[in-house]
């Protein structure tokens, strides 16, 4: 395994920081991660390729390990892709789940077990991706996103540690944070985000790509079972 990447000084990372720091950007959690030094960066080559998986995965393992040692909130890993931007939301969604499937297969092959505190079936309301034994909620961004908050000029995947949201809920802080994000997103987009749902009522997988989907949507990812023998190098 390679050492964790540190691409915070890359020009693409600088553009992403400016995107998050813009006064109109609605996610105050992402702003907190950026302002507190909790956002890490990996710049990969092509959104449609597994070429840089072995640069991304060590960084996921690193943030999981560091968080377990010191569970400070508002930490995330932003994976930014220099190329491979899709031309519509459906193709971005397919690409995002392809990248996650590839990373999960390698995580399994390396002997990392999924976080037992979350579900691993993407249809379950308590689903989360797991890397390095820690659960993550993934936010996709790309140039063709219909919601302005997801419309970055390159494909991006932001991995947010799931446990930090659970801790905020336990502390009674999550409701105010969520309401602030919803209100700011409504102001930016001019409408409510139809994909937002109350915790535990629908699978979070429906929100990963940012595309608006109906009740008949089925996740392109099948879960962690059966992947340990098939790493996609």
List Cα–Cα distances, 122 to 64, 86, 203, in angstroms: 21, 23, 7
Task: Quote the tokens at residue 100.
Answer: 């996650």
Specify the DSSP class assigned to residue 38.
-
pTM: 0.93
pLDDT by residue for the chain (233 residues), tens only, comes to: 678 889 999 999 999 999 999 999 999 999 999 999 999 999 999 999 999 999 999 999 999 999 999 999 999 999 999 999 999 999 999 999 999 999 999 999 999 999 999 999 999 999 999 999 999 999 999 999 999 999 999 999 999 999 999 999 999 998 899 999 999 999 999 998 888 765 556 899 999 999 999 989 999 998 875 444 433 34
Nearest by Cα to 223 from 202, 205, 210: 205
Specify the DSSP class assigned to residue 192.
-
The answer to whether the beta carbons of residues 40 and 79 sit under 8 Å apart is: no
CA–CA dist 185, 188 (Å, integer): 5
Per domain, the residue ranges of the chain are 11-207
The answer to whether the beta carbons of residues 8 and 33 sit under 8 Å apart is: no
């Amino acid at each position: 395994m390679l050492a964790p990447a540190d691409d915070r000084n890359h020009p693409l990372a600088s553009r992403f920081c400016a995107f998050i720091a813009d006064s109109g950007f609605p996610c105050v959690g992402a702003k907190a991660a950026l302002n507190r030094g909790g956002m890490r960066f990996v710049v990969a080559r092509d959104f449609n390729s597994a070429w840089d998986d072995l640069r991304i995965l060590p960084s996921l393992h690193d943030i999981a390990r560091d968080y377990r040692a010191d569970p400070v909130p508002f930490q995330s890993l932003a994976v930014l892709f220099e190329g491979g931007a899709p031309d519509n939301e459906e193709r971005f969604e397919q690409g995002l789940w392809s990248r996650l499937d590839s990373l999960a297969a390698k995580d399994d092959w390396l002997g990392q077990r999924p976080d037992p505190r979350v579900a691993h079936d993407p249809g379950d309301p308590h689903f989360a991706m797991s890397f390095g034994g820690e659960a993550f909620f993934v936010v996709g961004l790309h140039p063709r996103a219909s919601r302005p908050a997801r419309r970055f000029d390159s494909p991006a995947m932001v991995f947010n540690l799931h446990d930090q949201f659970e801790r905020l809920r336990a502390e009674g802080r999550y409701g105010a944070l969520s309401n602030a994000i919803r209100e700011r997103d409504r102001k930016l987009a001019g409408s409510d985000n139809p994909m937002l749902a109350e915790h535990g009522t629908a699978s979070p997988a429906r929100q990963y790509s940012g595309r608006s989907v109906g009740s008949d949507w089925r996740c392109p990812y099948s879960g962690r079972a059966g992947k340990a023998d098939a790493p996609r190098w």
